[in-house]
Structure 1
Amino acid sequence: MLFSYNSLAEPTPSAVKLQKDALKRNELENFSHTDINALIANRTLFCDRLLIELWHFFGLEREGLTLVAVGGYGRQEMFPLSDLDFLILTRAPVTEHRAQKISRFVQFLWDCGFDVGHAVRTLADCEREGKKDISIATNLLESRYLSGDKNLFAELSLLLRQQEFWPASAFFQAKTAEQRERYQRYNNTGYNLEPDIKYSPGGLRDLHLVYWLALRHSEAKNLRQILDSGFIYPEEFELLEQCRDFLFKVRFALHLILKRYDNRLLFDRQLKVSQLLGYRGEGNSGVEAMMKAFFQCLQDISTCSDILVKHYQEHFLAASTSAQTITLDQCFIAIDNEIRLLDPYCFQRRPDSMLDLFYHLTCYPDMGIHSSVLRRLHLAVKAFRGYLSDIPTAREKFIRLFAQPKAIERAFVPMHKYGVLNVYLPQWQGIKGLMQFDLFHTYTVDEHILRVMMKLESFAGGDNQISALCTDIFSRLSDRTLLYIAALFHDIAKGRGGDHARLGARDVRSFAEQHGFDRREAETMAWLVEQHLLMSVTAQRRDIYDPGVVRAFAEQVCNKVRLDYLICLTVADISATNETLWNSWKRSLLESLYQYSEQQFRRGMDNLLDQGEKIEDNCRRAEALLREREGDEIMQRVHHLWRNYPQDYFLRNNPKQLAWHTAEILRAEQPLLVRVSNRFSRGGTEIFVYCRDQSHLFHKLVCAIGARKFSIHDAQIMTTAEGYALDSFIVTELNGELLQKDRRRLLEQSLLRTLSENNMPNPVLSINPKLENFQVGTEVRFLHMNKREHTELELIALDKTGLLATVSRVFCDLSLNLLNAKITTVGEKAEDFFILTNKKGVALDAAERTLLEQRLRDALA
């Protein structure tokens, strides 16, 4: 039995709080077996009874005022943390006496713990403020009488119904402008992995938009009344009602577990909400099942809302001017740049005509789809059984799309939105709305795939913002269709268990055979899908200055054609995964690997790259820069200095870095130098440290850098023959941006203090609260164990504050020398690569490796 408000002879905030708490406990107890609309109606009634009682208790019923519920409260959509929004309506400006009564009434509600949104207005105020602000106007349109002067409320209702209050066209423009602005805040997709139940595209606000348009047009105030008014079809009513109830349940559950108002389904909340909704399963399967249903609801609401908004605009606002008509084929005609159906049953009789619709969109860049066609398409997709790819003519039309201009934007994105991809590809159903419970991916799998394809298409459009190299390569590709299809399949096997890249490669081979590609084309697509992570892993987690690493990578790629395809797919994949993931540092790594691989292909696989030429070229160009800046007289000191430097130093630094380092060292007054600059390293802020080598140097540096909250991407550790350290770090802010001037100077000062002190800093491992719900097992892998000169270590662990400092402390304790490090953070996961030697300066033996692995596991436990 649901809890109801009990009248109090002498209301007090403490007594009301007790009832509020009892209501919430009752909602928790009844949530799993009570209809969500009953819970919402019960809470709304609780608030109604309380406000009406207090209205009388404070003597406001005798003052000629009217109490009106507005906004979500007016719609009777009250959730546990909803604001209590109401209007106090008055015929004349309130006297001081009335103002004091109203103040006590509102203060009492605040003291009870309600978040109150209220206004005191005359009818003239309502008209003036409502005409100025669409949000106020919308709130007023949803007004509901609670208590007081009924005649005054009737006058308000009459005022709001007047056409001049908000003309239909102006109201429509204002509300759709709000929607566009809201969509932009969420990157025009509801498929964010931490969505907002209310404001994400497809969320409750899209449903409210339908309500508001219907309310302004016919005064219908809920879905049932909208159906009765003829504004929506019965099938649309059933779908919207089902989706609304699910989102209501998710939002109600979220509010039950939170203390403060919020509608975001953050990772740390999703598990608790899914449990309240009854989702169970091992690991994250319950969460993923709930979120899959959630994203399906968002898509259905977004689609229906889109159709109904277009329908409203076409039938009640837009007036045809030219009636220009173009016959597109036997199924479609275009009138005033809107595609319409010649045969209303075309999609049922010829299902492959669904693909013709999107083909026409690519042929006419200014053309849209009429709402009547979208409605027919939506119903046809829902009713379709089987897969369009089983129809030979549909297969021809599907492949034809890839060669069209703006094919991804104009065809594949809307095909996904309106469900056509779901009935074309058998594998699409498995990834539709499939979330990935991690901090690395921002979008669901299906949304990510479409965004990868969009990034590829941006290369075709000459967009150099992501990568000028990829834009150039893409313009020269002989067959872009293969690359688009590889992108379509690269993550399509996620969520099935097993290696998604191998399973996806198997899927694309079947697709290629079914769609008539030859063996070479099929193998190219399958290889791209299976190896779509190869270039990313090699560039970010391997030593790409090692000729052996480059040759091994080139051997796996086989030829330059595949290399061209792979770098475009890799860059598109990374930049479409997370808005903050792609940066110039990653671009520089991938482009360097591409260039080295090109050189390897030209040289032949039988020969390692000769880095001697690269070293000589870097030195020659650095000398030229130094002569230009410092004059010829400095060169003798330069050569004397360089004579003691290891050859690797000249390979791993570009000429600008070499000239910068050298000039700073020669100008230094003491053998302790720290410089931080954005000018000389591609893609990050470089920290250069020159000092007498000292014990635990790397550990001290990473502790100091970590304390300033910077991300370390690369570390280069070198020592001259005279015992001086030449250490470089590439860092960025946590969001991937370069360090600003004040941050660079503070970091320099902090590092100088650290190096001047003899104490050994003790890192403190702490987990970001956002990571508490993630489990990442620590993995320690030793690579290329046949190498005698050094040991390569790959470490995967949960990212924690102080992680790198803790790892370096282990190296110190075991007297290991760190030569190089690549630091990669992938969401909640750290994937780091280290090159080490033991205290004898050679690779670790088996016993040393075993001990190192155990110490790392113990330290990171």
Structure 2
Amino acid sequence: MTTTGTQPTPTPDEGPLGTGDHAAERAALLADPALGGARRRTALAALTDRWLTGLYRAAGSPPGTALVAVGGYGRGELSPRSDLDVLLLHEGPLDAELAERIWYPVWDSGAALDHSVRTPAEARAVAAEDLKAQLGLLDARHLAGDPALTAALRSTVLADWRSGAPARLPELHELCTARAERHGELSFLLEPDLKEARGGLRDVVALNAIAATWLADAPRDGLDAAAERLADVRDALHLATGRATERLSLQDQDQVAAQLGVLDADTLLRQVYESARTVAYASDVTWRSVERVLAARANRGRRISRLGFPFSGVGRTGGAVGKGAVERRPLAEGVVEQDGEAVLAQGARPATDPVLPLRAAAAAAQAGLTVSYATVRRLAAEAKPLPVPWPDEAREQLVTLLGAGEACLPVWEALEAEGLISRLLPDWERVRCRPQRNAVHRWTVDRHLIETAVKAAAMTRRVARPDLLLVAALLHDIGKGWPGDHSEAGEVIIRDLAVRMGFDKTDTDTLALLVRHHLTLVDTATRRDPDDPATVDLITKVVGTLPHLELLHALTEADATATGPAAWSSWRASLVHGLVARSAAQLAGGLALPADAEPTADEERLAVEAARTLAPALALHAQTEAGAGGVAEPGVPEPMGVELTLAIPDQPGLLGTVAGVLALHRLTVRKAGLRELDPIGAGPVLLLSWTVAAEYGELPEAARLRADLRRALDGSLDVARKLAERDAAAPKRRGIATPPPVVTVAPGAVSLSATVLEVRAHDAPGLLHRIGRALDAAGVRVRTAHVSTLGADAVDAFYVTDQDGRPLAAERAAQVARSVQEALG
């Protein structure tokens, strides 16, 4: 089985064709410039049919026998150096010399022959034992002799394949998986095996075999063209090398490109990679469909067995679960889980919700799922381009998607297969499938970028701005699609992209710095004297601040580890770490945390009201995605948020209680602030300013939220118990591995009047509630808090004191940090 394609039925020539005549005709056919691609493969198969038919007839062609082409030859296509897979089928006794009279002329010609002589019963038995033999027989095609014998064999083998599909398809899947592990992914290899690697011609054969079961079929858009392109490249490889090789070696790529009329070897590889990705994605989609169908058949069989009826397959539907029995669980606004995939909710409207593709992708990745093929297709067809600059939610959802780490990869591949990534990031098309002719690199440029983001997702606890780290990781090599130094080109591109994505000037400058200098740390550490003060001065002048240094260090490590084992050794890591440590010491001066803004008139009014009445004062204001007072883009839905301001006389457990009520109402905290005021000199009032959004569905009614807040504050609503009951009743869903939470005590220079606890954790419902309860249980007062949700990561800072209003002693502060970390564990 060597190639794929249609199943033409060439008409054999009636007269015998000698070996010499065949060789001459074959050479003329291969040299004909008018024949190429599928036409040449078909013509070569037809010529071979005539030759073998002539040899069979010259050998006697006794009744009760048939000559049958199988495997790739059976599909009617032959590459210049393909094996000839031939079966001599017979009933009853057979002249022992008949086969030799056919095979010997083939061997004498130098053609590679894979032959067998069997009765139909023997062929069927071999197929039952040998999966590869059964796959070859699925493509059986009659050449000569008794056509009824061939037809009966084809019918029997196909019936066996369909009836045995529930057992044989898992075996085929294991075979494909093992082959991929041995040969790698075709779309990322500098010297790919066009047949055996994942995404190669073997996978196309497997997809056709799955389709023959009638249980599932592959997405066909672009698949035939991809398979034909891979077959064309293999033909050119055979002609250029004169060998029956499947490996597209570096030394042969220029010749193959010339043979195909392609501009150069890089263009050739990009075409090969694009075709392989089409095949690989079709395989992923198809195997998921197979798994669902087989699971549904098994479940239906168990149900029927319990009722006392035998189970006997269910035709083409595969026993899919009936419409009313499908379980759907909400993941995000407009997105639900069904059959282990993320799909659109019934009320979702992609045409009026341009953020939906990113929201669906982020929700799927964070849940450890992928987005269904039908959903991605619908999003690609119906979703409108994002407005420029992007809404805040779009940027947050991209960061959330990247923050899922390994779980991001299949989702990203699904979006890219339908062109959604290039639509979001137009410059992505220049790096897509771009080879890197460097033995150090394991991946194409685009895959290296997403792999770097995956590595960076494990490092988000090391930096104060995980969103900037993830975006810089995704785009740090975006300049490789342009002439010149890719770091310099990348800085220009990232500035444009950052503005497009809605980052402000400060964040844009930070991203530009990271992209421009993503190689600076490792180059400086390995090429300069690390003990020379000028070396440290160079780094500190480049980064400017300690947060920038943290970001650049994490990006450097993520980039190197994503490149390959040779790019990040323990020696390099130690050199970079030492340089960063010395630079950090020089930049030391404490973490720059947001300064408290002066209270607004509304906040002062609420604080005065709370101080006078000794009761909570609450204000709720709707906010569009564009921000307070902002104007939403025409035609773009407004994912409404709520600004909640609460003033209340200080009392224990305030932070955790309010956060718990928000979690009960399925509100996610985008940002939050807490500070202490004394507006009339009657005692401290805590002012909480929150920006929240609905996890999915609509926002709760303001009156209901206000009533629950007041009940929680007066003790009539047990928030912790309600949350625990809801969590216990919720269905358990597989999640993704995330970096563990990190709780640290900031240097004393950050604040002279309080101890600053920094919390970096994966965002989750009730996270702020758990932090607040842990701080309350530790017996400390929260004087000020700065809470930020950046994609899937929470980056919070809490200014705490003891009950007398003094900073905590060092040992006490460390104990409180440990308590909070244990509560989040």
- Shorter-chain TM-score: what band? 0.5 to 0.7
Q: Shift in Å at residue 165 of structure 1?
A: 7.2
Provide the secondary structure at the position in 2 that maps to 1:62.
coil
Instruction: Name the residue aligned to 2:566.
Output: 581
Counterpart-to-counterpart distance in 1, 2:388 and 2:278: 23
Provide the secondary structure at the position in 2 that maps to 1:334.
strand
Provide the secondary structure at the position in 2 that maps to 1:162.
helix
Counterpart-to-counterpart distance in 1, 2:387 and 2:194: 33
Provide the secondary structure at the position in 2 that maps to 1:146.
strand
Provide the secondary structure at the position in 2 that maps to 1:30.
coil
In the alignment, residue 26 of structure 2 is paired with which amino acid?
A: K
Instruction: Name the residue aligned to 1:255.
Output: 238
TM-aligned CA distance change 1:20 to 1:411, over 3 Å:
closer
Q: State whether residues 207 and 283 of structure 2, in contact with CA within 8 Å, keep that contact through their aligned partners in structure 1.
A: yes
Among residues 2, 24, 29, which one is paired with 2:30 in the alignment? Answer: 24
Instruction: Name the residue aligned to 1:373.
Output: 375
Matches within 5 A, 1:348-359: 348-359=351-362
TM-aligned CA distance change 1:71 to 1:406, over 3 Å:
closer
Matches within 5 A, 1:798-837: none
Provide the secondary structure at the position in 2 that maps to 1:435.
coil
Matches within 5 A, 1:93-132: 94=94, 98-132=95-129
Q: Shift in Å at residue 527 of structure 1?
A: 1.4
Matches within 5 A, 1:366-765: 367-377=369-379, 379=381, 391-392=390-391, 393-402=393-402, 408-409=408-409, 411-457=411-457, 459-460=458-459, 475-544=461-530, 548-549=534-535, 551-578=537-564, 580-582=565-567, 586-599=569-582, 601-602=584-585
In the alignment, residue 500 of structure 1 is paired with which amino acid?
A: H
Provide the secondary structure at the position in 1 that maps to 2:481.
coil
Gaps of 5+ in 2: 1-9, 294-316, 589-825
In the alignment, residue 561 of structure 2 is paired with which amino acid?
A: S
TM-score of the aligned structures, taking structure 2 as reference length: 0.61
Provide the secondary structure at the position in 1 that maps to 2:482.
coil
Among residues 246, 270, 284, which one is paired with 1:292 in the alignment? Answer: 270
Instruction: Name the residue aligned to 1:269.
Output: 252
Provide the secondary structure at the position in 2 that maps to 1:68.
strand
Provide the secondary structure at the position in 2 that maps to 1:433.
coil
TM-aligned CA distance change 1:273 to 1:143, over 3 Å:
same
Among residues 272, 285, 288, which one is paired with 1:307 in the alignment? Answer: 285
Provide the secondary structure at the position in 1 that maps to 2:187.
coil
TM-aligned CA distance change 1:398 to 1:452, over 3 Å:
closer
TM-score of the aligned structures, taking structure 1 as reference length: 0.58
Instruction: Name the residue aligned to 2:75.
Output: 75
- Aligned-pair identity in percent equals 27
Counterpart-to-counterpart distance in 2, 1:45 and 1:486: 55
Q: State whether residues 405 and 454 of structure 2, in contact with CA within 8 Å, keep that contact through their aligned partners in structure 1.
A: no
Spell out, residue by residue over 1:613-646, the C-alpha distance to the aligned partner (whole angstroms, 9 max, x if none): xxxxxxxxxxxxxxxxxxxxxxxxxxxxxxxxxx
Instruction: Name the residue aligned to 2:62.
Output: 62
TM-aligned CA distance change 1:406 to 1:302, over 3 Å:
closer
Provide the secondary structure at the position in 1 that maps to 2:578.
helix
Spell out, residue by residue over 1:143-200, the C-alpha distance to the aligned partner (whole angstroms, 9 max, x if none): 1111123232233123213347751222322222222223333545623233333233
Q: Greater shift after overlay, 596-605 or 121-130? A: 596-605
Q: State whether residues 332 and 357 of structure 1, in contact with CA within 8 Å, keep that contact through their aligned partners in structure 2.
A: yes
In the alignment, residue 159 of structure 2 is paired with which amino acid?
A: Q
Instruction: Name the residue aligned to 2:820.
Output: none
Q: Does 1:145 align with 2:149?
A: no
Q: Shift in Å at residue 250 of structure 1?
A: 2.0
Spell out, residue by residue over 1:506-535, the C-alpha distance to the aligned partner (whole angstroms, 9 max, x if none): 222233334343444333321111111122
Spell out, residue by residue over 1:273-303, the C-alpha distance to the aligned partner (whole angstroms, 9 max, x if none): 22222233xxxxx333333333222233333
Counterpart-to-counterpart distance in 1, 2:265 and 2:405: 39
Q: Shift in Å at residue 313 of structure 1?
A: 4.9
Q: Does 1:202 align with 2:202?
A: no
Instruction: Name the residue aligned to 2:677.
Output: none
Q: State whether residues 4 and 42 of structure 1, in contact with CA within 8 Å, keep that contact through their aligned partners in structure 2.
A: no
Spell out, residue by residue over 1:117-137, the C-alpha distance to the aligned partner (whole angstroms, 9 max, x if none): 112222222222211221111
Counterpart-to-counterpart distance in 2, 1:544 and 1:57: 82
Counterpart-to-counterpart distance in 1, 2:261 and 2:348: 41
Counterpart-to-counterpart distance in 2, 1:189 and 1:389: 36
Q: State whether residues 67 and 145 of structure 2, in contact with CA within 8 Å, keep that contact through their aligned partners in structure 1.
A: yes
Corresponding residue pairs, total: 553
In the alignment, residue 22 of structure 1 is paired with which amino acid?
A: A
Counterpart-to-counterpart distance in 1, 2:55 and 2:347: 58
TM-aligned CA distance change 1:553 to 1:559, over 3 Å:
same
Counterpart-to-counterpart distance in 1, 2:390 and 2:488: 27
Q: Shift in Å at residue 68 of structure 1?
A: 0.9
Instruction: Name the residue aligned to 1:11.
Output: 18
Instruction: Name the residue aligned to 2:212.
Output: 215
TM-aligned CA distance change 1:238 to 1:602, over 3 Å:
closer
TM-aligned CA distance change 1:165 to 1:122, over 3 Å:
farther
Q: Shift in Å at residue 15 of structure 1?
A: 4.7
Provide the secondary structure at the position in 2 that maps to 1:176.
helix
Among residues 227, 240, 250, which one is paired with 1:244 in the alignment? Answer: 227
**More contact order relative to length (CA 8 Å, sep ≥ 6):** 2
TM-aligned CA distance change 1:279 to 1:541, over 3 Å:
same
In the alignment, residue 444 of structure 1 is paired with which amino acid?
A: T
Counterpart-to-counterpart distance in 2, 1:589 and 1:163: 58
Q: State whether residues 468 and 507 of structure 2, in contact with CA within 8 Å, keep that contact through their aligned partners in structure 1.
A: yes
Instruction: Name the residue aligned to 1:332.
Output: 335
Provide the secondary structure at the position in 1 that maps to 2:114.
strand
